Amino acid sequence: MAKDKKELSLRGKQTRAGKLLSTFIRQIAEEVTEVVVDPVTGEDRMATKAEGLARLMWKKALGYKETNIVEGSPVDTTYHADKFMMGMLFDRMEGRAPVTVGDSDGKMTTAERVSELGKKRIAQAGGLSKE
């Protein structure tokens, strides 16, 4: 009986700590400290950390090109679209927030499932599939 009370007490403390952390994360997300480029005017403006994070997620999901100056000459780096980020954004827009984040569960993301379905349809259309 004492062990059960101790476990409940520990779980209660962990739950409270998690709620407290979530509260602080939400408060910090609302701080207006990020500089973003306004898509309409093209000018820099201040935005919340939450908006800055959302814009970064979209940027990674769609892919982007970055130019850096190395030894006086420009070097372009292309970042391809991130399927995991695509799936995360799609799930959020559909109201399905993921419970855990990671690839360890072995399940295919939404973007991967769509990609696999597309491959199968292309193979069928071209007569390449065995089905």
In this prediction, residue 12 has a pLDDT band, given cuts at 50, 70 and 90, of confident
What span, in angstroms and rounded, lies between the C-alpha atoms of 35 and 45?
A: 6
Can you give the pLDDT at residue 13? 76
Token pair, residue 115, equals 């990609």
pLDDT band at 114 (very low <50, low <70, confident <90, very high): confident
> How far is it, in rounded angstroms, from Cα 29 to Cα 51?
8
Q: Determine, yes or no, domain membership for 5.
A: no
Q: How confident is the model at residue 113 (pLDDT cuts 50, 70, 90)?
A: confident
pTM value is 0.58
Give the separation between CA 131 and CA 117, rounded to whole angstroms.
Answer: 14
In a domain, 130, yes or no: yes
Structural domain count, the chain: 1
**36/52 Cα distance (integer angstroms):** 7
Q: Residue 113 belongs to what domain range?
A: 82-131
What is the percentage of the chain residues whose pLDDT exceeds 70? 79
- pLDDT grade, residue 99 (50/70/90)? low
Distance between CA atoms of 129 and 120, rounded to whole angstroms? 7
List pLDDT tens digits, range 44-91: 999 999 999 999 999 999 999 999 998 989 999 999 999 999 988 988
Report the 3 state secondary structure along 60-73.
HHHCEEEEEEECCE
76 lies in some domain: no
Confidence of residue 117 (pLDDT cuts 50, 70, 90): confident
Please say whether the beta carbons of 108 and 114 come within 8 A.
no
Determine the angle formed by the axes of helices 83-93 and 49-62, rounding to 10 degrees. 130
